[in-house]
Amino acid sequence: MTSIVRPARPPQPTLEMVAEVAGVSRATVSRVVNGSTKVSPEILASVTTAIKELNYVPNRAARSLASRQTQAVALVVPEDLTRFFGDPYFAAIVQGITRRLEQSDFTLNLMVASSDPRHKTLRYLRSGNVDGALIVSHHAGDEFVAELETSMPVVFGGRPSNADDLGAYFVDVDNEAGAVTGTQRLIDIGRRRIGSITGPIDMPAGIDRLSGFVRTLERVEMPADAVEHADFTASGAAAATRRLLGRCPEVDGIFVASDLMATGALDVLREYGRSVPGDVAIVGYDDSPAATSGPIPLTTVSQPSEEMGYAMADILLRLLAGDEKVPHRTIMPTRLVLRDSA
Amino acid sequence: MTSIVRPARPPQPTLEMVAEVAGVSRATVSRVVNGSTKVSPEILASVTTAIKELNYVPNRAARSLASRQTQAVALVVPEDLTRFFGDPYFAAIVQGITRRLEQSDFTLNLMVASSDPRHKTLRYLRSGNVDGALIVSHHAGDEFVAELETSMPVVFGGRPSNADDLGAYFVDVDNEAGAVTGTQRLIDIGRRRIGSITGPIDMPAGIDRLSGFVRTLERVEMPADAVEHADFTASGAAAATRRLLGRCPEVDGIFVASDLMATGALDVLREYGRSVPGDVAIVGYDDSPAATSGPIPLTTVSQPSEEMGYAMADILLRLLAGDEKVPHRTIMPTRLVLRDSA
DNA sequence: TTGTATGCGTTATCAT
DNA sequence: ATGATAACGCATACAA
């Protein structure tokens, strides 16, 4: 017979206990807690006192069970943790979401879930932990999303793959137009052999930026064959750059589909002894901190990532509030930011 | 009178509905869901079928209310998002925690909470959302922790400030010993005027690394006055490096209390035209990706951050399982990793 | 304005 | 092995 070593934790106070101390009914305490106006000043005072005295905090599970809502939303990121932490783009998105959520009493659940079987994530979401979901970095294969949409409102960061799904809500930029601007810059500064390091071709952002690139070169009758695919990581981009340089050594301008990838390209270029922008001009995408953290400040297509996060959260909150006229697509502007690399 | 535009979401199936379909009682379904062995094969089969058919997922709120546990733990980081995403140290910690949690059926709630009033975080935690908490980057002023410990098991990453709190569980390295090793390296390679960029002096990690630095220099009768405090950010370290260089231009070796800060110092050194390690040798701390991402690979004091995260989660899980003989302090080893900067 | 009663979807304690 | 039935802590429709 052993004694319990762990310090005994006092039971959390309940509504009922507060009611008893304040000498009122549970319902009244509930009203006070939920800020109902229909409560007399004296009772309000005594209940408030009792709450302070007991250090009462409402139990979420009970509240959620009774009210059928959780006051929480999830941010689902179908990527592994390394990518999530490695790309400042995600930091900006989270920042924006957080900024919006702080104005409400919703909390955010981060679900970075690729090593995790998607199935587990879906289970978690569907088990009533959150009222709605935000999804970024959505890949074509992620069909679990469809199922998710049947059980709660969902807002995407970046147009989802199945564009036919007209019911989807998303916040995005015109990726193709952004790519056109970025590519055009390379043409404007006189580059004649222009290549591209693309994002994953299973993501609309990757596809659209590539097609903007191709379209621009075709318009001026330049070859658009110096293209290598990568995965939005610096190391993936480095490898792609090596391939590109091997296949097409005369390249003098590269449109890279993200700033983080551009840093990888920069490293390889340095390794090969090519100066930037002298020998090779580089245009990135995102205008994330990665654009200015390296030795060569990047010329880049700026997208308002933080604002996009904010907008995503805002739309989801409106959806949850039952707002009927929320726009399905929110397109935000891009602009070219000129720095040193092109 | 307007019609509802939002797609009607079918109600989530409940235990009761499954029971009805399977032709058994709720209790039996519950047993199946929770993997009880005491259920006959035929019934197990029919219930399993019904669950699949209805696509049933247990409701967390109800389960948590009845069982009085949530199967979730929180990682509390009292820093702002920028710092959280900016320092690879946190990525490693989260990685380790996740790796451990994936082996259990606990989920992780990330709470990065400095802009957020600490109060709000505490409320969230105390409202029964999690069974236990992990806390990293704990500052001296964070007294909210004490209150948290009264309501759930808590494990710290890094020794908490109030070391008198003998009841606390934590995972750490011997920061002072690590600093000794790092500083000694600078002495060993012949540096005669050695300075340090420290972490925040309201954190044990900052204090201990500083005292290791000081102790080492005093032992060889070198002055330990070339010290500037910073905040574990690259920009903070850059500013501190400028101060240091201004005050003590003859410095030829710097012990920097984190790799991320070392990258900031490196930038300033380059700006001042000092070569590394030629003019100034640099030793960092952490051995995080920041140590190898820049142009000059850093010699650094390596700590097993990912393993520390894993250990933290492991300890918390054991605590939650009622394990009585979990060690209060877990100290992990550091080692000097030699690269180019010193 | 306040209180009473019922239900939210589970788990757990009893019977059987 | 299975089934009633009582909590769990709260919100809410309804009654007073």
Give the pLDDT band of residue A1 (cuts 50, 70, 90): very low
**Exposure string over A185-210, b if 16+ CB within 10 A, otherwise e:** bbbeeebebbbbbbbbeebbbbbbbb
| pLDDT at res. B165 | 64
B67 in contact with nucleic chain C (CB within 7 A): yes
Question: Is B62 close to A61, i.e. CB distance below 8 A?
Answer: yes
Residues A179, A290: one domain? yes
- Element (H or E) spanning A227, and its range? strand A227-229
Strands B132-136 and B154-157: parallel
Instruction: Tell if A250 CB is < 7 Å from nucleic strand C.
Output: no
Q: Is A14 exposed, middle or buried (0-12, 13-18, 19+ CB in 10 A)?
A: middle
pLDDT of residue B87: 92
Count other C-beta atoms under 10 Å from residue A108's C-beta: 22
Is the same domain home to B187 and B282? Answer: yes
The larger pLDDT score, comparing residue A140 to residue B158, is at B158
Q: Give the CA-to-C1' distance from A75 to C9 in angstroms.
A: 25
Residue B318 structural domain: 72-173+305-332
State residue A115's pLDDT score: 60
- How much is the pLDDT for B181? 98
Classify residue A63: in a domain, yes or no: no
Nearest partner of B242 among B219, B211, B265, B213, judged by Cα: B265
For B271, the closest chain A residue by CA position comes to A295
Show Cβ contacts of residue B134 under 8 Å, excluding neighbours closer than 6 positions. B73, B74, B75, B76, B97, B154, B155, B156, B157, B312, B313, B316
Q: Are residues B19 and B36 in the same domain?
A: yes
Identify the CATH number of the domain in which residue A22 sits: 1.10.260.40
Examine residue A206 and state whether it is found in any structural domain, yes or no: yes
Same domain flag for A226 and A256: yes
Give the mutation candidate from B1, B52, B65 for the A interface (greatest A CB count, under 10 A): B65
Three-state DSSP string of chain B: CCCCCCCCCCCCCCHHHHHHHHCCCHHHHHHHHCCCCCCCHHHHHHHHHHHHHHCCCCCHHHHHHHHCCCCEEEEEECCCHHHHHHCHHHHHHHHHHHHHHCCCCCEEEEEECCCCCHHHHHHHHHHHHCCEEEEECCCCCCCHHHHHHCCCCEEEECCCCCCCCCCCEEEEECHHHHHHHHHHHHHHCCCCCEEEEECCCCCHHHHHHHHHHHHHHHHCCCCCCCEEECCCCHHHHHHHHHHHHHHCCCCCEEEECCHHHHHHHHHHHHHCCCCCCCCCEEEEEECCCHHHHCCCCCEEEECCHHHHHHHHHHHHHHHHCCCCCCCCEEEECCEEECCCCC
Q: Please indicate, yes or no, if residue B123 is contained in any of the structural domains.
A: yes
Kindly state whether residues A115 and A144 are assigned to the same domain: yes
- Residue-averaged pLDDT of chain A: 92
Q: What is the pLDDT of residue B145?
A: 82
Q: How far is the CA of B24 from the C1' of D3 (A)?
A: 8
Classify residue B4: in a domain, yes or no. Answer: no
**Does the CB of A62 fall within 7 Å of any strand D atom?**
yes
- Tell whether A164 and A280 lie within a shared domain: no
What CATH number does the domain containing A253 carry? 3.40.50.2300
Q: Residue A9 corresponds to which tokens in the numbers above?
A: 């934790």
Claim to verify: residue B190 and residue B277 sit in the same structural domain: yes
pLDDT at A4: 35
Judged against a pLDDT cut of 60, whether residue B4 lies above it is answered with no
Name the percent of chain A lying above pLDDT 90.
82
| B290-334 pLDDT tens trace | 999 888 999 999 999 999 999 999 999 999 999 989 999 999 999
Q: In whole angstroms, what is the distance from residue B24 CA to residue B15 CA?
A: 11
CB atoms within 10 A of CB B17: 16
Note the pLDDT of residue B6.
47
pLDDT at site A235: 95
Q: What is the pLDDT of residue B143?
A: 75
pLDDT of residue B2: 36
Q: Which two tokens stand for residue A281?
A: 């001009």
Tokens of B255: 């012990």
Mutate which: B12, B33, B60, B306, vs A, most A CBs within 10 A:
B60
Residues 7-26 of A with CB under 7 A from strand D: 11-12, 14-16, 26
Among B95, B116, B151, beta carbon nearest to A9: B151
Q: What is the mean pLDDT of chain B?
A: 92
CB of A61 nearer than 7 A to strand C: no
Please tell me the distance from the alpha carbon of residue B90 to that of residue B215, in angstroms, as a whole number: 28
A114 — pLDDT class (breaks 50, 70, 90): confident
pLDDT by residue (tens digit) across A145-157?
888 888 999 999 9
**B212 lies in the same domain as B191:** yes
What is the pLDDT confidence band of residue B19, given thresholds at 50, 70 and 90? very high
Q: What is the DSSP letter of A58?
A: -
H-state helical runs in A102-249: 118-124, 144-151, 175-188, 204-219, 234-247
- Answer for A67: CB within 7 Å of strand D: yes
What's the rounded Cα separation, in Å, for the pair A301 and A193? 20
Q: Chain B closest CA to A149's CA: distance in Å?
A: 9
Mean pLDDT of B268-287: 97
- Inside any domain, residue B34: yes
Say whether pLDDT at A23 is over 60: yes
Indicate whether B260 and B272 sit together in one domain. Answer: yes
Q: Give chain A's domain count.
A: 3
CB-CB contact of A297 with A141 (8 Å): no
Give a yes or no: residue A135 inside a domain.
yes
The pLDDT-based confidence of A318 (bands split at 50, 70, 90) is: very high
Question: What is the reported pLDDT for B144?
Answer: 79
> What pLDDT is attached to residue A163?
60
Q: Identify whether residues B216 and B294 lie together within a single domain.
A: yes
Q: Which residue of B has its CA nearest to A2?
A: B324
Exposed / middle / buried, residue A320 (Cβ in 10 Å: 0-12, 13-18, 19+): middle
Nearest-angstrom CA–CA distance, A55 and B266: 49
Distance B109 CA to C3 C1' (A): 38
Nearest by Cα to B139 from B165, B110, B159? B159
Q: Which of B57, B86, B88 sits opposite A123 (nearest CB)?
A: B57
Distance to chain A for B285, nearest Cα, Å? 19
pLDDT band at A143 (very low <50, low <70, confident <90, very high): confident
Does residue A249 share a domain with residue A148? no
> Cα A153 to the chain's mean position, in Å?
16
Confidence of residue A38 (pLDDT cuts 50, 70, 90): confident
Q: Long-range contact list for A329-333, CB < 8 A, 24+ apart?
A: A329/A159, A329/A169, A329/A170, A329/A172, A330/A170, A330/A171, A330/A172, A331/A171, A331/A172, A331/A173, A331/A174, A332/A171, A332/A172, A332/A173, A332/A303, A332/A304, A332/A307, A332/A308, A333/A173, A333/A304
Q: Which of residues 22-41 of B touch strand D (CB under 7 A)?
A: 23-28, 31, 38-40
- The string of pLDDT tens digits covering residues A297-316 is 999 999 999 999 999 999 99
Same domain, A101 and A118: yes
A167 or B237: which leads in pLDDT: B237
Q: Tokens in use for B17?
A: 């509905």
Residues in B 216-245 whose C-beta is less than 7 A from nucleic strand C are none
What gap in Å lies between CA A291 and CA A260, rounded to an integer?
7
CA distance linking residue A89 with residue A11, whole number of Å:
43
Q: What is the phi-psi region of residue A44: left when phi exceeds 0, alpha when psi lies from -120 to 50, beta otherwise?
A: alpha
Cα–Cα distance for residue pair A258/A230, rounded to 1 Å? 10
- Asked if residue B224 is part of any domain, the answer here is yes
* Residue-level pLDDT at A6: 47
pLDDT at B121 > cutoff 90: no
**pLDDT tens, position by position, A206-256:** 999 999 999 999 999 999 999 999 999 999 999 999 999 999 999 999 999
The yes-or-no verdict on residue A259 having pLDDT over 50 is: yes
Q: Is residue B112 part of a domain?
A: yes
Residues B68-118 have pLDDT tens digits of 999 999 999 999 999 999 999 999 999 999 999 999 989 999 999 876 667
Chain A neighbors of B81, CB-CB under 8 A: 91, 94-95, 98
pTM score, whole prediction: 0.93
